[in-house]
Chain A
Amino acid sequence: MTETIHSFLLIAIIAAVTASIRFMPFVVFRKDAPRVIIYLGKVLPHAIMGMLLVYCLKGISIFTGAHGIPEFISIAFVVAVHKWRHNTLLSLIGGTAIYMLLVQLVF
């Protein structure tokens, strides 16, 4: 029983911290945000996407295992197909299928 309570407290605290982080900018800048923050708000989305890409790929080790080759091939595929057709679903499904084939069958 105490274990269940502890589990629920853990879930509650994780939920509370997550929500606090999400609400923080809106609470701190609830009046008019300074111009520098508005500027950051405009340019950050573009920078964040790069950061998230690196975040997704951080687990790759270049020197061991598959050397990141499946990731490289699949991303190159996604870029090429997306440049060609501009169809998001096609790029995603194609890229993921190729990645799954590569990691399951080739490497």
Chain B
Amino acid sequence: MERKRKTIRYAFQASLPIMAGYIVLGIGFGILLQNAGYSWLYAVVMSIAIYAGSMQYVAVELLAGGASLAAAALMTFFVNIRHLFYGISMLEPYKNTGLKKPYLIFALTDETFLLVCTPNIPGDIDRNGYYFFISLFNQIYWVIGCVSGALLGNIIPFDTTGVDFVMTALFVVIFLEQWESVGKIAKKAAPKNESTDSAAQNTAKSLALRIKNGIITHIPAVTGLAASFLCLLIFGDEDFLIPSMVLISAVLLAARGRLERGEMHD
């Protein structure tokens, strides 16, 4: 019981940034929906059944424009195909999650993925419980945001332009956290020096090794940034996600030997 309480509290604290982001983004969606002439009941149904941030924004346009079902299916596929990566990343962590598993998979949004992909969970926290409560809390924030936006969207008294930057800021923070966590592993992995070398040689050697390890361990992060940016330049902002995913996978597969060798130390 004590462990469960601790887990819930830990998950809640970890989810606070998403609370801010989801309520803001949800309200944005709700206002859009209300302006398109749909009742708040649509916000309830959509935030529970679809539960995908950017796709719901697109969905409002599809609804208002009376899109065909085939067009909507295709659009959804292209907007959400990036979620394939999340599933692949969570195959192992979600392996033994039992009855929680279907909901964990259903609720694996961008933001939930942020919190479950590389968490530093303390030993006294139940890992599966953490996954579950993160997923649940996030969806609750999302539903609250969407519905309140649809109900009272246009009476927000201050200018909220730019408030959605909170999500970008969150991605930056997680990127940094991940960057530093693999950096630590690389430092630990640098082997102890042989005592026969002189001190100066040692430092030079270990520095070179550290730099080399650093470069290797940061390959995934740099690949993600560089490949996506390159594809954005080539394919434009509408179509760059799928080429990015292909390019990222190709580079990471090509670097597999190096990266797996580096990993043996951890």
- B212-255, CB under 8 A of A: which get 1 and which 0? 00000001111111111100100001001100110011001100
Query: How big is the B interface, by class?
Result: 35 or more
Cα separation A55 to B228 with both chains bound (whole Å):
8
Q: Is B12 in contact with chain A by the CB < 8 A criterion?
A: no
- B178 sits at the interface (CB 8 A): yes
- How far does the alpha carbon of A66 sit from the alpha carbon of B249 in the complex, in Å? 34
Q: Given the complex of chains A and B, what is the CA–CA distance between A16 and B244 in angstroms? A: 24
- The verdict on A33 contacting B91 (CB below 8 Å), with A11-B50, A92-B170, A99-B162 known, is yes
Which A38-91 residues have C-beta < 8 A from chain B?
38-59, 70-71, 74-75, 78-79, 82-83, 88-89, 91
Chain A nearest Cβ from B209, distance in angstroms: 21
Whether the Cβ atoms of B222 and A50 lie closer than 8 Å is yes
Measured in the bound complex, the distance between the Cα atoms of B182 and A21 in whole Å is 29
B38 CB contacts on chain A under 8 angstroms? 7
A47 touches B163 (CB 8 A): no
B207 within 8 A of A: no
Stretch at the interface among B76-84, B125-133, B146-154: B76-84
Are B105 and A23 neighbours in the complex by a CB distance under 8 Å?
yes
Q: Name A15's contact: one of B49, B83, B219, B252 (CB within 8 Å).
A: B49
Q: Is the CB of A10 within 8 A of B220?
A: no
Smallest Cβ distance from A12 to chain B, in angstroms?
8
Per DSSP, are chain A's interface residues mostly helix, strand or loop, or mixed?
A: helix
Within the assembled complex, what's the spacing in Å between the Cα atoms of A74 and B256?
35
Given contacts A23-B105, A48-B89, A100-B161, contact A14 B82 (CB under 8 A): no
Q: Judging by beta carbons under 8 Å apart, are B169 and A78 in contact?
A: yes
The answer to whether B244 touches A22 (Cβ under 8 A) is: no
- For A12, list chain B residues within 8 Å (CB): 49
- Which residues from chain A contact B256 at a C-beta distance below 8 Å? 36, 39
Do A23 and B87 touch (CB < 8 A)? yes
- B224 touching A91, Cβ below 8 Å: no
The answer on a CB contact under 8 Å between A18 and B221 is: no
Min distance, Cβ B62 to any Cβ of chain A, angstroms: 6
Q: Which residue of A lies closest to B101 (CB)?
A: A26
A51 touching B163, Cβ below 8 Å: no
Given A14-B50, A40-B252, A78-B173, also A57-B168 (CB < 8 A): yes
* B237 surroundings in chain A (CB, below 8 A): 58-59
B139 to chain A, nearest CB (A): 13
B63 at the A/B interface (Cβ < 8 Å)?
yes
Q: In the assembled complex, how far is the CB of residue A36 from the closest CB belonging to chain B, in whole angstroms?
A: 7
Contact with A along B30-62 (1 / 0, CB 8 A): 000000001000100110011110010001001
Q: A25-B91, A49-B171 are in contact. Are A10 and B67 (CB under 8 A)?
A: yes
B42: which of A7, A52, A74 is its contact (CB, 8 Å)?
Answer: A7
A12 to B62, CA, bound (A): 13
Q: Is the CB of B81 within 8 A of A47?
A: no
Q: Within 8 Å CB of B110, what residues of A?
A: 52
Quick one: given A6-B66, A45-B178, A103-B161, are A19 and B106 in contact (CB under 8 Å)?
Answer: yes
A-B pairs with beta carbons under 8 Å apart, 10 shown: A10-B62, A22-B105, A23-B106, A33-B92, A40-B253, A41-B90, A48-B86, A49-B174, A51-B244, A104-B162
Q: Which residues of A contact B (CB under 8 A)?
A: 3, 6-15, 17-19, 21-26, 29, 33, 36-59, 70-71, 74-75, 78-79, 82-83, 88-89, 91-93, 95-96, 99-100, 102-104
6 closest A-B pairs (Cβ-Cβ)?
A: A50-B224, A25-B87, A47-B224, A50-B225, A46-B220, A54-B228
